[in-house]
Structures are given as C-alpha cells and as structure tokens.
Amino acid sequence: MEYTISQLAKLAGISTRTLRYYDEINLLKPKRINSSGYRIYGQEEVDRLQQILFFRELDVNIETILSIMNDPNFDSIKALEHHLTQLMKKRSRLDNLIESVKKTIAHEKGVIVMNNEEKFKAFKEQLIEENEQQYGKEIREKYGDDIIDKSNNKLRNLSKGDFERFRQLEVEILELLEKAVQTGDPSSPPARELAAKHKEWLTLSWPEYSEEAHRGLAEMYVSDERFKAYYDRKGPGATEFLRDAILRYLENK
C-alpha cells in the first residue's frame, strides 16, 4: 500500500511539514516522487516512521535518531525491544505516581490515612519522572540503566528526613553557587562548601558514590546544554565554575 504525504501524515497523526523536514534532513525519504511531483511513501517508509515516532516518544533528540537510524548496522528488532523496555519503565513510573496522587486525594477527603512516608512518595515519584524526562537519556547513556535504576530506587526509599534534606540541598547549592561565582576562585571557601554540599546531595541518591563518577557528572554539566542552561542562571560561567569547584575539591580533599 502506498500513501501520499498528506495520507501518511494523517495516518501517523503528525503534520506534512514534519514529513517534509524528515525528507530534507535525510531521515525519512519518500519511496518515489510521482509524475505530478508528489511524495509517495510505501510500507518500508511507514515502518521507518513508526520507529522514528517511538524514539520521539522516549524524548530522543532528532540528531541522535538520525545518527542511529542511518547507521548501516541499525537493527529494527533490537530497537523495538529497547523501545518496549523503556516504555514499560515509563508506564511503571507513571502508574506509581498516579497511585500516590490517588491516595493523597483520598487522604485529603478523609477516606484513608496516609503515614508520612506515603505522603512523600508522590513527590519522590514526580521528581524521578521529571529527571527521567529531562535528563534520562544522557545519564543512562553515561552511567547505564542499572546504575540509574538503583539511584531512582534509593531516592524512593529515602526517609522523610533524608528526602527533605535532599530537596533543601538543591536550594542551598543554587544559592551558594551564585555567591561563590562572584569570588572568581573555584578554590575559595564558598566554592569548597559548594562542592561539599554537591557531594552530600549526590550521596543521598546515588547507589554508590565515587569521585570518578562525581568528576564525570561535573564534566557532563558543562557539555550538556540543558544542564549548562540550568546552572548558568546563577551567573555567566556558573556551570564551568561549579565543575571547577568540584574538581578542585576532589583534588585537595
């Protein structure tokens, strides 16, 4: 069966503009161009588009999709198996979050009584889901699924006090970063305090802290534009300063 560009767009629930863009960047070329100049897509293109949309659903950026799918060694079956695994994990996280929110609503209505640990479960799941959506791909590629899954589970099992400390440290790190950057010295006392707090924050969620992994994360902050944008809110060069402060702290412990 063959489809015009408008028919395929309707079938897939995307715009014809998106399909034209995929053609332009050599991600999804039409099977042929008919005598009237219209793009015509066949079954092979339909299947390829499905793979592309699976990747997009998992928040894989378009440059990475292009690189993966244009690799001559691309294996569609392995890709589908990977999609299934990741989607099942995503469904599990959402199911847990939905259940926590339902319990919270019931508690507020007086239908059930939640203990303190249960009350924080929804916030933990929300934090994990947000982290997965924003940075999941990069940190899983760098550290592996096993480490990140263990990290998420450790966060889930934090006590009420440790979870409150974890969230408070996030605030303190950003506040201290803004002050430390103004010194211009990543070895200054505020910079050392900043790095120490960052280490404490990591140890609350990482299953196994190591200085090597800490250094790697600091370098990733600088190389990844989203991390860089997050920390640079505290001043020009704030991300590089945080990295340097962490590296100096680990060198001079």
Average pLDDT of the chain is 89
> Using CA atoms, how far apart are residues 229 and 239, in angstroms rounded to an integer?
8
Which phi and psi angles does 196 have, rounded to 5°? -65, -40
Token representation of residue 16: 């014809």
pLDDT at site 166: 93
Over its C-alpha atoms, the chain yields an Rg (Å, rounded) of: 23
Alpha helices in 109-251 (DSSP H): 116-143, 145-156, 160-183, 189-205, 211-223, 225-231, 238-251
Q: Report pLDDT digits (tens) over 98-132.
A: 887 888 888 788 887 776 677 677 778 778 877 88
CA-based torsion, 178, 182, 187, 189: positive or negative: negative
Q: What's the pTM?
A: 0.57
Tell me, what amino acid is at 240? E
Nearest to 78 by CA among 66, 67, 86, 90: 86
At residue 196, the pLDDT reads: 97
- Point out the residues of the chain with pLDDT beneath 70: 115-116, 119
Are 19 and 9 within 8 A, CB to CB?
yes
d(CA 2, CA 251): 62
